[in-house]
């Protein structure tokens, strides 16, 4: 089974392995690209994480995650800016191709959604010079509207691309099928992002019916209703040929399975349901 063009977001096996173990397992299965999370890097240590990734020749297709800019007061907003600058430095040390941003939702006690969106834009503007100096692209990840209050107040490709255009060079999008597959303007948004060179990552999983948990019940590719090959055709039609990155949060299914079984299944489903050639 082919693994070229496949990346594993290490959240997919976060309950089975630490970062070192996950990278070693990916290498055993012939997978040569990963996307680690900050807590996984912190647990192992940044220097050791860099060593493990380099020793196994891993491509780092992204780093999860920055963002979470809105806060109830100026001190909280500054703390988020400072933390995002640290995330940029970590991503650069790891050789990541982008820092994925889950931008944040409403501050505690707030109902001001436009205000939260302004905080996101202000926060990104504040870290952008640091990101540019580090050569680290910022990938806005629009999240499904069900997360607008608590995780991300940017929810469509169009909305995220408008923000990227306002901020300018060094900002693009991470396109996760779980979050945007439903959007009636999806094809237009992908074409727009591709034409501007703003597609920085493509994340894959599937939307289960019924979905048992809005956060922790993502499906393995082929187990849901997303037409993943049609989605990828839209992506590749823009000229983007970067990896398809499996990112699955699955508290009651895939996180409870043997890690090697999860990786074998990722490879099988990538070939059957996602890869075009």
Query: Per residue in 176-199, pLDDT tens?
Result: 999 999 999 999 999 999 999 999
DSSP state of 256: G
Residue 182 lies inside a defined structural domain of this protein: yes
What is the residue-level pLDDT of the chain in tens, covering all 277 positions?
Answer: 899 999 999 999 999 999 999 999 999 999 999 999 999 999 999 999 999 999 999 999 999 999 999 999 999 999 999 999 999 999 999 999 999 999 999 999 999 999 999 999 999 999 999 999 999 999 999 999 999 999 999 999 999 999 999 999 999 999 999 999 999 999 999 999 999 999 999 999 999 999 999 999 999 999 999 999 999 999 999 999 999 999 999 999 999 999 999 999 999 999 999 999 8
Residue 184 lies inside a defined structural domain of this protein: yes
User: What was the pLDDT predicted at 233?
Assistant: 98
Residue 1 lies inside a defined structural domain of this protein: no
Residue 56 lies inside a defined structural domain of this protein: yes
Q: Kindly give, in sequence order, each residue whose CB lies less than 8 Å from that of residue 276, ignoring residues fewer than 6 positions away.
A: 229, 232, 233, 236
**Beta-bridge partner residues of 8:** 34, 246
Overall domain count for the chain: 1
Residue 107 lies inside a defined structural domain of this protein: yes
The structure's pTM equals 0.98
Judged by DSSP in three states, 111 sits in coil
Residue 269 CA to residue 93 CA, distance in Å, equals 32
Residue 32 is part of which domain span? 6-274
- Which CATH number goes with the domain that contains 157? 3.20.20.150
Under 8 Å between Cβ of 129 and 84: no
Residue 93 CA to residue 158 CA, distance in Å, equals 31
In degrees and rounded to multiples of 5, residue 63 shows phi and psi of: -135, 125
Residue 102 lies inside a defined structural domain of this protein: yes
User: What was the pLDDT predicted at 175?
Assistant: 98
User: What was the pLDDT predicted at 184?
Assistant: 98
Under 8 Å between Cβ of 132 and 172: no
User: What was the pLDDT predicted at 185?
Assistant: 98
Under 8 Å between Cβ of 220 and 249: no
Residue 171 CA to residue 140 CA, distance in Å, equals 7
Percent of the chain as helix, strand, coil, to the nearest 5: 45, 15, 35
For residue 154, give the nearest of 101, 99, 87 by alpha carbon. 101
DSSP H helical ranges for the chain: 19-28, 38-44, 46-55, 74-94, 113-134, 157-167, 177-180, 186-195, 228-237, 259-269
User: What was the pLDDT predicted at 210?
Assistant: 96
């Amino acid at each position: 089974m082919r693994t070229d063009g496949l990346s594993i977001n290490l959240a997919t096996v976060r309950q089975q392995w630490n970062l070192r173990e996950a990278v070693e397992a990916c290498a055993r299965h012939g997978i040569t690209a990963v996307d680690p999370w900050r807590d996984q890097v912190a647990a192992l240590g940044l220097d050791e994480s860099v060593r493990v990734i380099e020793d196994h020749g891993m491509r780092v297709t992204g780093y999860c995650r920055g963002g979470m800019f809105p806060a109830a007061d100026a001190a909280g907003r500054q703390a988020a800016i400072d933390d995002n600058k640290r995330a940029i430095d970590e991503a650069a040390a790891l050789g990541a191709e982008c820092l994925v941003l889950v931008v944040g939702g409403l501050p505690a006690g707030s109902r001001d959604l436009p205000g939260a969106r302004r905080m996101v834009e202000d926060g990104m503007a504040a870290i952008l010079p640091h990101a540019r100096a580090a050569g680290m692209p910022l990938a806005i990840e629009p999240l499904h509207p069900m997360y607008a209050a608590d995780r991300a107040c940017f929810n469509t490709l169009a909305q995220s691309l408008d923000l990227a255009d306002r901020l300018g060079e060094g900002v693009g999008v991470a396109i996760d099928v779980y979050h945007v597959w439903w959007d009636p303007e999806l094809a237009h948004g992908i074409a727009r992002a591709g034409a501007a060179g703003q597609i920085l990552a493509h994340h894959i999983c599937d939307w289960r019916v019924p979905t048992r948990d809005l956060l922790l019940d993502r499906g393995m590719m082929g187990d849901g209703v997303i037409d993943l090959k049609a989605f990828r055709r839209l992506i590749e039609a823009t000229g983007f040929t970067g990896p398809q990155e499996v990112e699955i949060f699955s508290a009651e299914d895939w996180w409870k399975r043997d890690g090697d079984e999860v990786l074998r299944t990722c490879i099988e489903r990538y070939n059957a349901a996602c890869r075009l050639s």
